[in-house]
Amino acid sequence: MLLKDKVVLITGGASGIGAAVTRRFIQEGAKVSIIGRSLETLEQMKEEFNDNLLIIQGDVSKYEDNERAVKATVEQFGKLDVFIANAGVFDGFAKFADVTPDALSDAYDYLLNINVKGSFFGAKAALEELQKTNGNIIFTVSGASFYPDGGGVWYTASKHAQIGLMRQLAFELAPTIRVNAVAPGGTLTALTVIPPLRTFTKSVDNDTKASNIKRRNPLQLAQMPEDHVAAYVLLASDQSRAITGEVISSDGGLSVRGL
């Protein structure tokens, strides 16, 4: 039980990688709060985990929703040890050259508000409580934080920006709070393409997606959300008390060859 008595807030915790992390953290002894947008999905998670889980419907791109989630977590579980900025959306590999200036602008606002501003806001809202517990922050970044062709320009820029946020916060918040990231490679989830770019992208079925992901990484893995959870457990736990400002890549070896 590496996370016994830890209290953790995870954004986007009701599906994909966030749901797998939630499930494993509860197995490791944590109490978990999750922020999500779909009440239906949140309620399904609540049925599975009962008293070990608090669900909060909200939008990470709104500061007040992050603040409300931190407050509710502390009211319910008494403290906050770990904040995980995981909520994210995708640009579907839309090509810069194809997109009109209006769609470019709408996509910029939509995607960066969630992937980047949501990460800023969540970290800020959690800060005071994490200072009380000598806690830690984990960002879900991506292979697209380091290499081209993990998405289009919007997604790639957003995932690079999260690395800057993570490294600067690790510097500013030491020695009280550790700040790290997990960088999954392509993973079979329902990661959503944002509305302003849907007309500029092709939808891909799951089998094609799996074979595309396999082809790109040296270990030839079509990764599942569960493949990444051990990295989060390590960074969230006291086992990593000497680790800050780091990224654990969980990507089938992209650094061996790039995307």
- Determine if 191 is a binding residue for ligand NAD (CB under 6 A): yes
CB atoms within 10 A of CB 236: 28
CB atoms within 10 A of CB 38: 11
- Shortest approach of ligand NAD to residue 2 CB, angstroms? 22
- Shortest approach of ligand NAD to residue 60 CB, angstroms? 4
- Determine if 252 is a binding residue for ligand NAD (CB under 6 A): no
**Cis peptide leading into residue 148 (ω within 30°):** no
- Determine if 214 is a binding residue for ligand NAD (CB under 6 A): no
DSSP per-residue letters across 204-224: --HHHHHHHHHHHSTT---B-
Sorted by sequence, the CB contacts under 8 Å of residue 92 that are 6+ apart come out as: 151, 152, 193, 194, 197, 198, 200, 201, 202
Q: Which is nearer to ligand NAD, 135 or 185 (CB)?
A: 185
Footprint on residues 124-153 left by ligand NAD (CB under 6 A): 140, 142
- Shortest approach of ligand NAD to residue 241 CB, angstroms? 25
Q: Which is nearer to ligand NAD, 87 or 166 (CB)?
A: 87
The CA distance from 259 to 254, in Å, is: 6
- Determine if 112 is a binding residue for ligand NAD (CB under 6 A): no
Q: Which is nearer to ligand NAD, 135 or 252 (CB)?
A: 252
> To which residue do tokens 């399904």 refer?
44
Q: Is residue 232 among the annotated active site residues?
A: no
Check: CB of residue 167 under 8 Å from CB of residue 245.
yes
- Shortest approach of ligand NAD to residue 189 CB, angstroms? 3
- Determine if 37 is a binding residue for ligand NAD (CB under 6 A): yes
Binding map of ligand NAD across residues 5-34, x = CB under 6 A, - = no contact: ------xx-xxxxx----------------
Binding map of ligand NAD across residues 49-68, x = CB under 6 A, - = no contact: ----------xxx-------
CA of 151: how far to CAs of 9, 90, 130, 148, 242, in Å?
Answer: 27, 7, 32, 7, 32
DSSP code at position 31? E
Q: Which is nearer to ligand NAD, 190 or 242 (CB)?
A: 190
Q: Which stretch binds ligand NAD (CB under 6 A): 23-31, 69-77, 87-95, 233-241?
A: 87-95
Element (H, E) at 18: helix 16-27
Q: Is 196 helix (H, G, I), strand (E, B) or coil?
A: helix
Contact residues for ligand NAD (CB under 6 A)? 11-12, 14-18, 35-37, 59-61, 86-89, 114, 140, 142, 184, 186-187, 189-192
